[in-house]
Amino acid sequence: MFLSSLGYVILCRWVMPPITITQLISVIKGEGLKKNHVRLKDISAYAKLAAIASEDQLFPDHSGFDWKSLEKSLSVNPSKKNKIRGAGASTISQQVAKNVFLWQGNGVLKYLRKIPEFYFTTLIELIWGKRRILEVYLNVIETGRGVYGIDAAARQYFHKPAKNLSANESAMIIASLPNPKKYTVVPVSRWVSWKSQWILRQMNNVSSDVDIRKLCR
């Protein structure tokens, strides 16, 4: 199992994952599957910047895990006894590990996923590197009912390829990520309308970071 998983991670360094568990479930549920894999250079710099600004501003600097945020999310709130404070601190790398190699879900499924998620996150950081992680992330994220990847979303909602997305369009797509079936881009939901403006401000805040700018080329 170790050798097969390692081999698949190495293969995915150059070949885009053909299908994920989430995508397979989408097909089984009858939601369809719209996706179009594109290279990082064929994705708008705004889309790359929006993803980093919204999901993981320390992405260029960490080794797969934001330990400070993890510590905070796992700390106990004394007023709620043993309740865990926060929903987690998943980096882009962790999200890729989950989306490509593992399963979705909260509760028991979430905790069963933690050890293999750590394993795959470490592997892709070592074998893929940041640009490939970002490329795969933007190609496999769920962006609507049966819609996966930034290019499929760009064509579905704005009738253009991902390389032509504007800053506002990119922010709208990324804003839907917590739950793209609920927080719709078209018609624009209240959440996407509000969150996209927040993302645009964050994009402006981090755009001068040298390491982020290199990743967004």
**b/e 148-159 (16+ beta carbons within 10 angstroms → b):** bbbbbbbbbbbe
User: Residues 65-112: pLDDT tens digits?
Assistant: 877 655 554 454 444 343 332 334 589 999 999 999 987 777 777 777
Overall residue count recorded for the chain in this entry = 217
Helix (H) or strand (E) segment spanning residue 70: helix 67-74
Q: Are 18 and 141 in contact (CB under 8 A)?
A: no
Strand order in the sheet with 142-144: 34-35, 147-148, 142-144
Residue ranges covered by each domain of the chain: 29-215
Q: Which has the closest alpha carbon to 138: 204, 46, 3, 26?
A: 46
CATH code of the domain made up of 29-215: 1.10.3810.10
User: Residues 147-192: pLDDT tens digits?
Assistant: 999 999 999 999 999 999 999 999 999 999 989 999 999 999 999 9
Q: Which has the closest alpha carbon to 21: 105, 133, 128?
A: 105
Can you give the pLDDT at residue 85? 28
